[in-house]
Amino acid sequence: MSREDLAGLVFQGIEEFVADLDAEIGPSDAEWGPFRYLRDPISDPRFSTPVTLSVPNAWWARNTWVEPFRIEFDSISEAAKALRAVQRNWAPCLFTQFRRGELIKERLPPISAKPKPFPFELPETPMGAWTLLDEHTMIASATCSSPFPGGIVEFEEDKVNPPSRAYLKLREALVRARRFPDPGESCIDAGASPGGWTWVLAGLGTRVLAVDRAELDPRIAAMPGVEYRRHDAFTLKPEDFGRQDWVFSDVICYPQRLYEWVSLWLESGLCEKFICTIKIQGEPDWAAIRLFDAIPGGSVVHLHNNKHELTWIRV
């Protein structure tokens, strides 16, 4: 068996959006299925710096492998032993050699695949990731940008009460941010209809002002602490709302328009915590995404529950 540390980063692409990752990072030094390896991107201004890591991060990556290494091994037990020697927790991210990968996984400490309740606190223990390139070659990293195994989190779904599955995005963003609105805190939910995000926030005991030109689901509008206002949220200024603890937006709009509205909030000083969906319509608006990424204290990520969209988090 042999091990080789790889200088640089490995970006774990999202199968449906690998083209966006390639457009973002440019030519890579190696490609393995959805994975892209860049030998020395640390000082490259194309990449953002997430709050939790002092290394670059690609927006269109499911996960960034920060300390990648390559292992050449002869047997399944040898591969598993090499990973266990580094740390305990490892998530497989296979794109080939699935049967062999499953056998290696069985020799590693188990990771719970059960859907998570909400809310839940992320453990502080690191979550490594690994994949197979062929029968005898593995790429792995003990440190990754995502706190979730392989960048994926599944929640216990409520298929009765929320009016849409959009609520899963907000759950993931809050867990990832490691911050939850406290009971009694005031929240703006812009673009609220039909009410998935409002349902999450009201369930946490907050006071929610849901704003949308479309109607809120009557069951959501009747929840304690919920007030509905029929309006285009972006035509309202922060002063029209007053001081807020949180501002949320899942509005379908061009990224530039969302940025201009968020900028008004930042300039007003009337709110400090934001979670906003950056909707992508056709080709990503790279300039607008960079504007969000440059806002101090925030980060742009692709959530597991995002579609062709990104999420800006500043808490």
Distance CA 232, CA 297 (A): 27
Distance CA 273, CA 174 (A): 11
What confidence tens digit (pLDDT) does each residue in 232-282 have? 999 999 999 999 999 999 999 999 999 999 999 999 999 999 999 999 989
pLDDT at 56: 57
Instruction: Tell me the whole-structure pTM to 2 decimals.
Output: 0.92
Average pLDDT over residues 14-43: 90
pLDDT at 50 over 70: no
Average pLDDT over residues 214-218: 97
Q: 301 or 49, which is more confident? A: 301
pLDDT at 113: 84
pLDDT at 222: 98
Q: DSSP characters for 246-312?
A: EEEE---S-HHHHHHHHHHHHHHTS--EEEEEEE--SS--HHHHHHHHTSTT-EEE--TT-SSEEEE
* Residue 175 amino acid letter: V
Helix axes 167-177, 196-203, angle to 10 degrees: 50
Distance CA 238, CA 265 (A): 6
pLDDT at 211: 98
pLDDT at 126: 81
What's the mean per-residue pLDDT of the chain? 93
pLDDT at 183: 98
Q: Percentage of residues in the chain with pLDDT exceeding 90? A: 90
pLDDT at 268: 98
**Segment holding 6, helix H or strand E:** none
Decide: 92 and 105 in contact? Cβ < 8 Å: yes
Least confident of 44-58, 83-97, 244-258: 44-58
What confidence tens digit (pLDDT) does each residue in 165-212 have? 999 999 999 999 999 999 999 999 999 999 999 999 999 999 999 999
Question: Of 237, 273, 279, 307, which is the active-site residue?
Answer: 279
CATH T-level assignment (fold) for domain 167-314: Rossmann fold (3.40.50)
Is 65 strand, coil or helix?
strand
> Percent helix, strand, coil in the chain (nearest 5)?
25, 25, 45
Decide: 246 and 177 in contact? Cβ < 8 Å: no
Cα angle value 270/276/280 (rounded, 5°) = 140
pLDDT at 55 over 70: no
pLDDT at 51 over 50: no
pLDDT at 170: 98
Closest CA to 302 of 17, 9, 10: 17
- Sign of the torsion angle spanned by Cα atoms 170, 285, 270, 272: positive
Pairing between β-strand 273-279 and β-strand 128-134 as defined by DSSP bridges: unpaired
Asked if 279 is an active-site residue, the reply is yes
What confidence tens digit (pLDDT) does each residue in 134-172 have? 999 999 999 999 989 999 999 999 999 999 999 999 999
